[in-house]
Amino acid sequence: MAFTRLAETGRPPVAFTVDGIAAEGCEGDTVMVALLTARGHLRREEFGGTPRAGFCMMGACQDCWVRLADGSRIRACTTPLSPGMDIRIDTPEDTWPTLA
């Protein structure tokens, strides 16, 4: 795993899921930090499937969009991790609910 938490290891844990698999971040993490710590990558590149880790880390480049189970999109680099968050990354788009 390329992304390892070195400091602030005493913060309370926050449970979430990624594609139905239980994971854990820390209170105060962004979704990006939690995903990189739990999986080693943020998402897969659309055209070749190469693992991506984000790019600008400040919400400007559009590289960190991920989906929640309800189909909504969030920027992983600027969205705080919430307890019970259900993040979908490797789930095919045809299984996402339609937003009204």
Is the confidence at residue 1, as pLDDT, over 50? no
* Residue 97 belongs to a domain: no
Is the confidence at residue 68, as pLDDT, over 70? yes
* Residue 32 belongs to a domain: yes
| Mean pLDDT value across residues 13-36 | 93
Contact 7, 15 (CB under 8 A): no
Predicted local confidence at residue 96, as pLDDT: 56
* Tally of structural domains, the chain: 1
Number of helices followed by number of strands (H, E) in the chain: 1, 7
* Residue 25 belongs to a domain: yes
CATH at 25: 3.10.20.440
* Residue 55 belongs to a domain: yes
Average pLDDT for the chain: 82
Instruction: Tell me, rounded to whole angstroms, the distance of Cα 32 from its chain centroid.
Output: 5
The answer to whether the Cα torsion of 13, 14, 18, 21 is positive or negative is positive
Predicted local confidence at residue 62, as pLDDT: 78
Q: Tell me the whole-structure pTM to 2 decimals.
A: 0.80
CA nearest neighbour of 53 among 65, 40, 62: 40
Q: Give the whole-angstrom CA distance, residue 30 versus residue 33.
A: 5
Is the confidence at residue 41, as pLDDT, over 90? no
Range of the domain at 37: 13-91
